[in-house]
């Protein structure tokens, strides 16, 4: 059974940092793309960042470029999202997801999803 378990969310002041983790289990993900999405209250889920497990190719939404960094640890089967210079508009539930192929950052490309972790940035 595939499981994606996010952790690391919380409350932080604007300008602060958080690191989210996504622990993956239940299958081999070496050929997969791992992504982070977020959904704010009253808004649609949006793409944040993605990384190709095999070659570390990355993709970022324009809104987080230069502030967020996605990475992975093969030994721990874990993907990270380092979030710096956080803004109140980054407040959302952040979801980890896995897709069988490299794509363009659309949610329909992803087969597996975690339960999400709340990130709240206060002004």
Only one residue has tokens 């300008």, namely 15
Cα distances from 17 to residues 1, 78, 106, 122, 123, in angstroms, run: 32, 19, 26, 12, 14
Tokens representing 7 are 């952790």
Mean pLDDT over residues 94-100, rounded? 96
Query: What is d(CA 66, CA 85) in angstroms, rounded to the nearest whole number?
Result: 9
Sheet with strand 68-73: strands edge to edge: 3-7, 18-25, 78-83, 68-73
For residues 117 and 27, the model is more confident at 117
Q: Residue 94 in contact with residue 115, Cβ under 8 Å?
A: no
Mean pLDDT over residues 68-87, rounded? 96
Q: Tell me the average pLDDT of the chain.
A: 95
């Amino acid at each position: 059974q595939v499981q994606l378990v996010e952790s690391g969310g919380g409350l932080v002041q604007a300008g602060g940092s958080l690191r989210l983790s996504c622990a993956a289990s239940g299958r081999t993900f070496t050929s997969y793309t791992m992504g982070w999405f977020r959904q704010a209250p009253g808004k649609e889920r949006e793409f944040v960042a993605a990384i190709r497990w095999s070659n570390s190719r990355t993709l970022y939404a324009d809104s987080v470029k230069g502030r967020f960094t996605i990475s992975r640890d093969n030994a721990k089967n874990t993907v990270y999202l380092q979030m710096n210079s956080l803004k109140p508009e980054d407040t959302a539930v952040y979801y980890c997801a896995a897709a069988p192929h490299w794509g363009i950052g659309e949610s329909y490309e992803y087969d597996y999803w975690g339960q999400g972790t709340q990130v709240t940035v206060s002004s």
